[in-house]
Structure 1
């Protein structure tokens, strides 16, 4: 593969730059059949081929390490199934003993106690193994993140076709790692779509996919992610929209993660094609193949159905266009989606800039209920919703963001918390939760960034049944 790339690069250099003396030495020969051949040395400063070779070798090493972790996860899942069966059966036996203690001898009780201690030891051993495996996956993720940044810089500086083969290898590794982490996290995480948990406990390290599809860091305004309620057959769809200013005009849709990374859009929609449906801010989401965003004129919430390519808007009563988030201008109306539906956050003159949360009736495209919070919106980095709970973030330092505030719409109670997480770069424009994969999607200074979300586990469980 490297040999082919070298030949390709030498050929391009000879044709395109023949007027420039790039060759430090020429050594031409003619064989008996009259075929001319030559050897040439191209200075390493022209293209870092040695670095690319190292990246490919690293890809092989990482892939092998990841395969071992995938095997471990399969073993964890198998062990966990067995342990759950043991715990369920022991629970039933203990319940029977408690209901009729006189029917069991001291020897039988002691035997059950020994079984309990054995299962506890097995579970502790499994937890230790899983934590060790988690550390390995974090290290792999960091290594891939660093390499993706290097590849992106090489694509910007040199012919991206020379980097394409290597990038494809890392895309495959990223996909494997994502699946491994998902299965790893599901061992202790609640099922996707479930709200049977006690709220967010922590976030993963930032997962850097790559620089945006424009390959320009100047496209700092925008967002990306997955459809929060995908139509049948579109469960793997991703979207991306960004620009050099705060105008929302284009949104691109990708069939899956691979095509997102390869910048192969399935369709790009122009909100200024047949009529002026442009928006402002970085507050957009896609839900049921419909783009929800802040309409520019008049100031209102809007939705663009990408299936019918029809748009409509609704003015939000009392919403002010003077209060945005700390990082981004014009983000006055911010959309969010979670397990319970579609939401919008904003501020009003009456609230003096304090954040207001509204639940949207999707069928009527209108607010059906609102909640007033006590946090000043311009001091907030961003907000998102999970299971009917609002989470707000703020900056701690150049490398750290913090979830510092929550508001539960069911109990109408607010609380101050501290859940720090790492930023890829200091400023980000977009942050939203997706209930289909329990991930946070961030648009950070032009880069696609995401986070796995972990939750506090509830102690309440269903009564186990006897396993036959």
Structure 2
């Protein structure tokens, strides 16, 4: 089967070229976030540029205005391609991995396959090669479009120089200021496009989440078709040799009894864990809001009801009871989600509800060394009315179900200012019920376990816009 192996190497080579093209690309989009449809799959992050009406009838000035409008439309058209690029890259990578498995199986046992099987694999390889070439051409085309836009802006600047020398300087200066705004918008658009593929990991220089991508569905869980509860993701503070590692826990009910570790995403898809740990008797957990941080599992302990952690390096357990935390309040639609662990750029957190506050959510900061509570924050949220919560840069975000298709990030609590406010960021849920949603600061993604599927989302943050008004406080 040497010819098949050669074709597989060729396909992988094209994917490598595609990835490097994206990494080197100098294209991007952004000026302001605008929710045009109220959320859903048609949401667009658009680049708008407007110039005032001409103050005098000069043909050259009209041409400048027309060029700006043309740039605006091109930016909007190209923006629609961003998530398609992203989704296709994930899909093509999975197709290549599946083909590698097929080819390796044929090489190990060639007698088990006939010419029809071989021809079928050849066709699949050619299809993937064609798809990758097509996507690479599309990305190159976008790069060319933005190089053209830069040329058009340079031409517009030359026109403004001429107008400034010939006509009323005040009028032209006003136009020049508007032109500079457009130029800055285009530069910011380019930076934003780069962030889609290279997020500014570790940075909290933003005012919060402004957009969530479409769901990226990775794979149906391979343990059992009935394993509809669980969680998956990456270590939020990985050890040096485990930065590419993924973990998975899945079960038919909201419990945790074992964890599997995978060297990287490829091995997660190929179903080949390098470690598999079962929890020791007496240390079993409930709920699906656990996380892994610095090679340590943090989860909800069954008995006594409280917090637990398992360090996989030393294989040692520890537990902590939080007085007042109630086992009566869970998220809507899912049981036993009483303690919800989260990790972000600022550290480790856990949220829960209390009987004393009639089910309102309490957020607590955890000292990782002592496994003790450092500080608590009381919110006005009624926990059973929430789908889930997660932390980003010391800010608690709460999610609720809007309809059969969409979730909404509708609330945030800033632990630095102790202020809570309403927001509205919609995203698609993929399937009706999910048991796990958590943010990971190592790649700035949301990870969801949804009825047996691995789902993740890219996040967009407001890096440039400052709040124009004080946040509206919630009445408790």
Normalising by structure 2, report the TM-score.
0.64
Cα distance in 1 for partners of 2:458, 2:355 equals: 36
Report runs of 4+ in structure 1 exceeding 2 Å deviation. 62-75, 77-80, 120-130, 138-148, 161-167, 182-185, 187-190
Match of 1:222 among 230, 255, 259: 230
Structure 1 residues 136, 320: closer, same or farther in 2, change over 3 A? closer
Residue matched to 2:335: 329
1:138 CA drift (Å): 5.5
Secondary structure in structure 2 of the residue aligned to 1:417? strand
For residues 223-272 of structure 1, the C-alpha deviation after alignment (integer angstroms, 9 at most, x for no partner) is: 00000000111110110001112221000011111111111101010103
Cα distance in 1 for partners of 2:419, 2:388 equals: 19
Match of 1:293 among 296, 299, 309: 299
Residue matched to 1:312: 318
Cα distance in 1 for partners of 2:207, 2:452 equals: 33
Match of 2:452 among 442, 446, 452: 446
Q: Contact 1:141 / 1:207 at 8 angstroms: preserved in 2?
A: no
Q: Contact 2:22 / 2:197 at 8 angstroms: preserved in 1?
A: no
Q: Contact 1:73 / 1:184 at 8 angstroms: preserved in 2?
A: no
Give aligned pairs, total.
351
Secondary structure in structure 2 of the residue aligned to 1:323? coil
Residue matched to 2:361: 355
- Would you say 1:244 and 2:194 are equivalent positions? no
Secondary structure in structure 1 of the residue aligned to 2:272? coil
Q: Contact 1:293 / 1:301 at 8 angstroms: preserved in 2?
A: yes
Q: Name which one, 1 or 2, has greater alpha-carbon Rg.
A: 1
Structure 1 residues 74, 188: closer, same or farther in 2, change over 3 A? closer
For residues 413-459 of structure 1, the C-alpha deviation after alignment (integer angstroms, 9 at most, x for no partner) is: 11111111011101100000000000000000010000001011225
Residue matched to 2:88: 140
Match of 2:272 among 264, 280, 287: 264
Structure 1 residues 322, 79: closer, same or farther in 2, change over 3 A? closer
1:79 CA drift (Å): 12
Q: Which runs of 5 or more structure 1 residues have no equivalent in the other structure?
A: 5-55, 81-116, 152-160, 461-468
Cα distance in 2 for partners of 1:408, 1:141 equals: 35
Cα distance in 2 for partners of 1:67, 1:124 equals: 30
The CA RMSD over aligned residues, in Å, is 4.2
Structure 1 residues 367, 183: closer, same or farther in 2, change over 3 A? same
- Would you say 1:231 and 2:239 are equivalent positions? yes
Structure 1 residues 251, 372: closer, same or farther in 2, change over 3 A? same
Cα distance in 1 for partners of 2:306, 2:29 equals: 53
Residue matched to 1:201: 210
Give 1:181-196 correspondences, 5 Å limit.
184-186=193-195, 191-196=200-205
1:123 CA drift (Å): 9.1
Give 1:377-396 correspondences, 5 Å limit.
377-396=383-402
Normalising by structure 1, report the TM-score.
0.65
For residues 146-182 of structure 1, the C-alpha deviation after alignment (integer angstroms, 9 at most, x for no partner) is: 989x99xxxxxxxxx9999779x98xx99xx9xx9x9
Secondary structure in structure 1 of the residue aligned to 2:226? coil
Cα distance in 2 for partners of 1:144, 1:402 equals: 30
Cα distance in 1 for partners of 2:405, 2:416 equals: 33
Q: Which runs of 5 or more structure 2 residues have no equivalent in the other structure?
A: 31-64, 100-112, 140-190, 467-476
